[in-house]
Chain A
C-alpha cells in the first residue's frame, strides 16, 4: 500500500454509494454487501435479472436493491446503479464486483487517494497491488487487455478490467455507458479520456477463488468484448 494517505480523513461514509452489479450471485452477494455495510457505505445492488434469489439475499444483508426485468449485462447494471445513486443524492460513487474478489477495506484507502490527489476517479489496479490465486493464462489475458486499451484510449493504466472504482458524483454524471456487456470497462476508460477526467490508480487486492474464477470472463469472452468495442465504435 502506498504511504502517505493514512492521515487523510474520509468524509461521512454515508455519502459514498457503492454500486454492485449482480447476476445470479446469491452465493456471494450476502458477504459482499455485509462487508461494505460494515464500513458504513450505502450499498446499491443492481440485480440484473437473476433467477437465484440474489435480490432477497442482498436486501437481507442491508443493500438497496434495484431489479432489471431483463438481463442486460454488467455495463447496463452499473449504469442503472450509478444513475439511481446520482438521483438519490450521492456525493461519491463506487463500483464493486459481486463475486467477492474485491476487499471492502480497499475502498476507504481509494477514497483517501481520490481526495489526496484531487482526482475525479480512482481505478483499482491488481497489477500495482496483489492478486491471490491468479492463473498464468488470466494474467496474460489481462496484460493483453491493458496493452490494447492503452493503445485504444491513450490512457496509461496498469489494469483495465478491474471492477473496483471510486469517483465523484460529478465524474459519474459524465459516464453514459452504452456497452451493456463486459466492454463497459474499456468504455469507462474511453469516457475518462474523452471528458479529460483526472484519474489515478490505486493498488488493490484481488482474491481469486474457485467461485470468482468460474464467474469471471473466459478467453472467449474477451474476443466478444473486442467485437463489442469495435462494433460500438463503428456504429457510434
Chain B
C-alpha cells in the first residue's frame, strides 16, 4: 500500500540522517536503529500491532500506537522543558557572575586611581 511506502521512506531518511550525524553517540545510533527497525516491522505487518493491541486491551493497533506516541511525546516534552530550565538557570548564573566581576574590576581600578592620587 502507498502509506507503507511513504512511511518506510520517511523512516529510512530519518535513520540515514541520524547515522550520518557525527555528534551523536554510538548508543543513541544503535537505539535509533532498533527503534526504526521495530517501526518498520509494525508498518509492514500491521496485524502484529493489532494482536499486541488486543492483548493490551485496546481495540485497534493504530489506536495503541497513538497512545504510545502521546505518552512518549509528553515524556520528551517534560525532559526538554527541564533541560531548557536548567540551561536558563546556568545562563542566569553566568550573567550574574559577569555583572559582579565587572563591578569588582571597576572597584579595583578606582581604588588604584585613588591611592595613586593620594
Interface residues of A (CB under 8 A from B): 46, 64-70, 72, 76, 79-80, 83-84, 87-88, 178, 180, 231, 235
Complex Cα spacing A83 to B99, Å:
11
- Nearest-neighbor residue (CB-CB) of A47 within chain B: B99
**B104 on the A face (CB < 8 A):** yes
Are the CB atoms of B96 and A76 closer together than 8 Å? yes
Are the CB atoms of A235 and B82 closer together than 8 Å? yes
Are the CB atoms of A66 and B89 closer together than 8 Å? no
**Which chain B residues border A235 with CB–CB below 8 Å?**
82, 85-86
Interface residues of B (CB under 8 A from A): 82, 85-86, 88-89, 91-92, 95-96, 98-100, 102-104, 107
- Nearest-neighbor residue (CB-CB) of A178 within chain B: B89
Q: How many pairs of A and B residues are in contact by the CB < 8 Å rule? A: 44
Are the CB atoms of B95 and A83 closer together than 8 Å? no
Decide if the interface of chain B is mainly helix, strand, loop or mixed: helix
Q: List 19 A-B contacts (CB under 8 A).
A: A64-B103, A66-B99, A68-B95, A68-B99, A69-B95, A69-B98, A70-B95, A72-B92, A72-B95, A76-B95, A80-B99, A83-B100, A84-B103, A84-B104, A87-B100, A88-B107, A180-B88, A180-B92, A231-B85
- Nearest-neighbor residue (CB-CB) of A231 within chain B: B85
Are the CB atoms of B103 and A83 closer together than 8 Å? no
Knowing that A69-B99, A235-B82, A235-B85 touch, tell me 20 more A-B residue pairs with CB under 8 angstroms.
A46-B99, A64-B103, A65-B103, A68-B99, A69-B98, A72-B95, A72-B96, A76-B92, A76-B95, A76-B96, A80-B99, A80-B100, A83-B96, A83-B100, A84-B99, A84-B100, A84-B103, A178-B89, A180-B92, A235-B86
